[in-house]
Chain A
Amino acid sequence: MISDVVILGGGPAGLSAAIAAAQAGASVVVVDENPRPGGKLLGQLHEEENGKWWIGAEVSKSLAVQAVEAGVQILPNRQVWNLSPEWEVSLDGGETICADYAVVATGAAERPVPMPGWTLPGVMAIGAAQTLTNYYRVRPGDRIAIVGLDPLSLTVAHELSMAGAVVVGIYLPGMNDFAKEQADPDRSLKYLAGMSDLAPNAFLRLGGKLAALGALRSLALTFYPPTGIPLMGTRLNLRKSVVAIGGQGRVQYVDVASVDKLGNPGRTRRVEVDCVCLSGGLYPVQELTKGCELAYIEQLGGTIPLHSPEMETSRPNLFVAGTVTGIEGAKIAMAQGRLAGTVIASRVGLLRGPELVAEAEAAVDRARESSAITFMPEIKAGRRIAHERWLELDGSSLTAKKEIYT
């Protein structure tokens, strides 16, 4: 199969890149591992600032329809086994796609939260619970404990309640080698403060308000009610951590320890649940960017491919878009995708003048400014570091790139 552009990943970034390139006239193939396009957008559901609901499944469908109408070929249920330069994509079924340009839009995955009992059926990553609830419409449990405090876990707690589950509480993970920072109540409070600027719903706003105490933070922890504070039908517990999960053949309970200000466990109590959702945060997935210049940037959530403001990596004609470049929301991923698709259309010679590329670049900035939710509290610093690292890159790859521009 031969096309102008091959896009790896059919989530919000990949589909948006496909739409932009195909609407300009490029031939585009999108490869995705899942049966339906949309990626993690499929399960998203939250109320926006304007009071309207962001229904990820509907946004995904609309993107897929636009892509198909623009002539994009979407190949679902395919695993990419290899991406070799300039560009040949090998798929698990033996198919090969050759393209002049490639976009890696492989998104993010969740950091695991290992603890005693976490392999029992009924323990799952928070993102799995989100997709089951909002997309497949299956409640992952009737009484659910959430472990880990972040924007995703708070949002999903609300979504589970809306779907009729009892969320018995949101807890910190127990202090162990895997969860040092997450288990620290002070760090969790700081984290809440960082994401509170423009929270998407009352649930997050309340959490943010608490943390906005700033300098009074440690005082807040000292006086933080041991029973937690009520939030949308559940309790946020900064002074309790889940130290073990147990049950015969399935989840039946969690052991919850009271913790002091530093996160050290004290007395333990057993709480009956049939499901535990673990939230360890997200990291960008770099399985297909191995040949690119990569950098570990903590503020972006992990290792990312360094890229130009136009989303091109250090390997000419290999682009990236979406959370593979750092943990941000779906609207930013879509804007990045449109930018990558527009730049490629311009390179193919389908667009006249630089205006559309400049406009797509500005749209990414606008999406960031109007973003209702910040997953990574220091995302702006992370983006700045990433850009500086990009500018520091010299050598053949960038020289080659300049030649393309002239």
Chain B
Amino acid sequence: MKRISDHPVLGPLTHAEIGIEFDGEQYRALEGDSVAAALLANGIRTLRYSNRTGEPRGIYCGIGHCYECRMTINGVQSVRSCITPACDGDVLESQGDDREQSGDF
């Protein structure tokens, strides 16, 4: 999972760089990225943890239907990262790993 900086049909990428924060670390991304795409370009696949089992979860449907990619974005919980644009300065957090506190449902 790497950025496709050049492509035989689509040509080179020319988007401007932006900076984002994920779980306290700083990353670079490109303008026009979705949050999920921006993280994947940095090698990050796990976006949240199951509230029941604590198992990691990542992008699944990519069209906002399945909610598997939900994250806390700029303090707002359970935002679908696959259809949310990444913006310079975004603070992103994985969620659901506090299962001890949230109880067993």
What is the total number of residues of chain B having a CB less than 8 Å from a CB of chain A?
A: 38
A228-244, CB < 8 A from B: none
Interface contact A162-B7, CB-CB below 8 Å: yes
**Alpha-carbon distance between A19 and B80 when the two chains are bound, in angstroms:** 29
SS class, residues of chain B in contact with chain A = loop
Interface contact B40-A34, CB-CB below 8 Å: no
Interface contact A121-B45, CB-CB below 8 Å: yes
A275 partner residues in chain B, CB cutoff 8 A: 1
Interface contact B46-A40, CB-CB below 8 Å: no
Q: Is the C-beta of A163 less than 8 angstroms from some C-beta in chain B?
A: yes
B69-83, CB < 8 A from A: 82-83
Selected from B34, B45, B62, B68, the residue in CB contact (under 8 A) with A250 is: B45
- Give the interface centre of B62, B65, B68 by most chain A CB atoms within 10 Å: B62
A132-169, CB < 8 A from B: 132-134, 136-142, 162-164
- In the complex, residue of chain B having the shortest beta-carbon distance to the beta carbon of A131: B62
Q: Is the C-beta of B41 less than 8 angstroms from some C-beta in chain A?
A: yes
Shortest Cβ distance from B29 into chain A, in angstroms? 10
**Alpha-carbon distance between A139 and B45 when the two chains are bound, in angstroms:** 12
Interface contact A139-B59, CB-CB below 8 Å: no
Interface contact B1-A140, CB-CB below 8 Å: yes
Interface contact A121-B10, CB-CB below 8 Å: no
- Give the interface centre of B4, B32, B33, B82 by most chain A CB atoms within 10 Å: B4
Interface contact A139-B9, CB-CB below 8 Å: no
9-residue interface stretch from A122-130, A207-215, A336-344: A122-130
Interface contact B4-A164, CB-CB below 8 Å: yes
Selected from A45, A109, A122, A123, the residue in CB contact (under 8 A) with B10 is: A45
B59 partner residues in chain A, CB cutoff 8 A: 121, 124, 128, 132
Interface contact A162-B46, CB-CB below 8 Å: no
Q: Is the C-beta of A363 less than 8 angstroms from some C-beta in chain B?
A: no
Shortest Cβ distance from A153 into chain B, in angstroms? 15
Shortest Cβ distance from B50 into chain A, in angstroms? 8
Evaluate whether A163 and B61 lie within 8 angstroms (CB atoms) in the complex, with A121-B46, A136-B34, A250-B56 already known.
no
Q: Is the C-beta of A222 less than 8 angstroms from some C-beta in chain B?
A: no
Q: Is the C-beta of A119 less than 8 angstroms from some C-beta in chain B?
A: yes
B30 partner residues in chain A, CB cutoff 8 A: 137
Query: Could you write out 28 A-B pairs with CB less than 8 Å apart?
Result: A33-B64, A34-B83, A35-B84, A109-B63, A110-B61, A112-B66, A119-B50, A120-B56, A121-B47, A123-B58, A124-B58, A124-B61, A124-B62, A125-B60, A132-B40, A136-B32, A136-B34, A137-B3, A137-B5, A137-B7, A138-B4, A138-B41, A139-B2, A139-B3, A140-B1, A141-B1, A162-B7, A250-B45
A interface residues, Cβ below 8 angstroms from B: 33-35, 40, 45, 53, 55, 109-110, 112, 119-125, 127-129, 131-134, 136-142, 162-164, 249-250, 274-275
